[in-house]
Structure 1
């Protein structure tokens, strides 16, 4: 047994054999588990990605609060630009999530290998991910809360790479149906470079608006291959986030006014005035570049 393969206990191995799943090599190692490449002989699925979470290694808060939300999100989120879930199995203190295998890693890895992404390709992938987020916001009333380059996978379809949103561990329904209003989030989750000013300031925040802010960071990173704001000092981060002249200085070249306008609208400090995901998809830069 090598460190790239998985050692299953007899009970789990029997369950996997009955289901037709076979583990191959390990693809990645994360904070809460590993992701393996595998197959399913009974369904005819040639390749699957298998996320293995050791429930004994995670905290009670994660098991009681975040894991049930992730399972709900995985079951509910079904969009062409989200990673499809085939099966979820809980066995011997571990969670096995069987999902669509994406052939080409993630956008963070793509940037590392290829540098900044051309505007047309950035627009295609950004639009695809934004459509997935819009579907979550409008159909499920659910915010993702951890949109980042690492959570945008790339897979080949008809000879072209398409973007798919993944990792719904922090996803949460943020709409109060009885009161017909957004429920503000008090959990400051996600990843620091993508934080909105409200999260940086540790204030209650609209998670839908925070998703839009993070999408603006994703787009900037794709086009410039660097983060727009420094994030090791919260006061500095907030100051930069609210300084348009600083934002202008961060672009690696003189992009068009409509592209910069989209960034400004994503990065509107007052989240009540920030562009919604629905209006983002109608923005002139999206419409023009998407033709």
Structure 2
């Protein structure tokens, strides 16, 4: 018999449970608290046999409402669908007498706003890669923000999928969720919306904050903040990098349909990285040896770009020829 998600959720929380707490403690060592949220706490955890470290996300059953139960089940289901180098990974779900425990990847990293010296475009490229991966699988995160992006050893990890959901291109949702400073106008207006453009808006807010050290909209309270978001008046002139300025203009569009997609953001950021790597080569003699003529260089760039985009997409739709022409001076 086929079960729907609600049936499975009820089974997860209401089935008769033999004492599993003792068994859990025999396998894992649970350590200090490393994070907390509205609905769960996160503790450091290690397998007693292998000593491998994990993060243990703990939901207290007695504090969970029926609607929150459904959200937890959805979070688990989505995390189990995902395998990407820039997205947190789930390894196991363990139910004990009093808790639902999510055994997830432990990232010994920090938030980007507390770090200096990292390659911003590399970081943004990895974030765009993660969002492109999710959106291609009809998953939207719905709480993209600096606090949910960890950085460790040159790698970004998108975490906390508590608000994530599956979406359909033909069905829009009217759900008010997320973090106020990152909310898109359509969410603030409580309109029906599609998830991916709202994720892109939030990603744009992240980029603005990382480049400017402040949010584009600042209010003394949520009501004032939301009024500014709806007005959507943003000063991009203070952004020195013209490429990022242009990208933000495409991300922070009032109309969701006018916003750049995650796929195009991913490809254009990839192009910028390729360009910077080539331009930063100090020895032009080596460059000429690798690329005997300009056409060979452009062909190599095209080859790199084809690895970043879907086969049915045309490079000219992703990167204008005027952009690629910037290599002509090399």
What TM-score results when the alignment is normalised by the length of structure 1? 0.81
Structure 1 match to 2:308 = none
The more displaced of 202-211 and 88-97 is 88-97
1:275 to 249, 260, 275: 260
Partners of 1:39 and 1:228 in 2: how far apart? Answer: 41
Shift of 1:46: 2.2
Q: Which has the higher strand share?
A: 1
Structure 2 match to 1:54 = 60
- Structure number with greater Rg is 2
Structure 2 match to 1:90 = 95
Say yes or no: does 1:288 pair with 2:272. Answer: yes
Partners of 2:229 and 2:131 in 1: how far apart? Answer: 25
1:167 to 137, 160, 165: 160
Partners of 1:53 and 1:16 in 2: how far apart? Answer: 15
What runs of 5+ residues in structure 2 fail to find an aligned partner? 1-17, 278-330
Structure 1 match to 2:30 = 23
Retained in 2: the 8 A contact 1:230–1:237? Answer: no
Cα deviations by residue, 1:126-176 (Å, 9 ceiling, x for unpaired):
2112111111111x2111111111111223xxxx3311011111111112x
Retained in 1: the 8 A contact 2:20–2:95? Answer: no
* Correspondences of 1:1-291 after superposition (within 5 Å): 11-18=19-26, 20-42=27-49, 44-64=50-70, 66-107=71-112, 111=113, 113-114=114-115, 121-138=119-136, 140-155=137-152, 160-175=153-168, 181-231=169-219, 232=222, 233=224, 234-239=226-231, 241=232, 243=233, 246-248=234-236, 251=238, 254-283=239-268, 286-289=270-273, 291=277
- Aligned residues: CA RMSD: 2.0
Partners of 1:289 and 1:227 in 2: how far apart? Answer: 25
Which fold has the larger relative contact order, with Cα–Cα distance below 8 Å and residues 6 or more apart in sequence? 1
Shift of 1:30: 1.7
- Over 2 Å off, 4+ runs: 10-13, 246-249
SS of 2:120's equivalent? Answer: helix
Partners of 2:265 and 2:196 in 1: how far apart? Answer: 12
Q: Which has the higher helix share?
A: 2
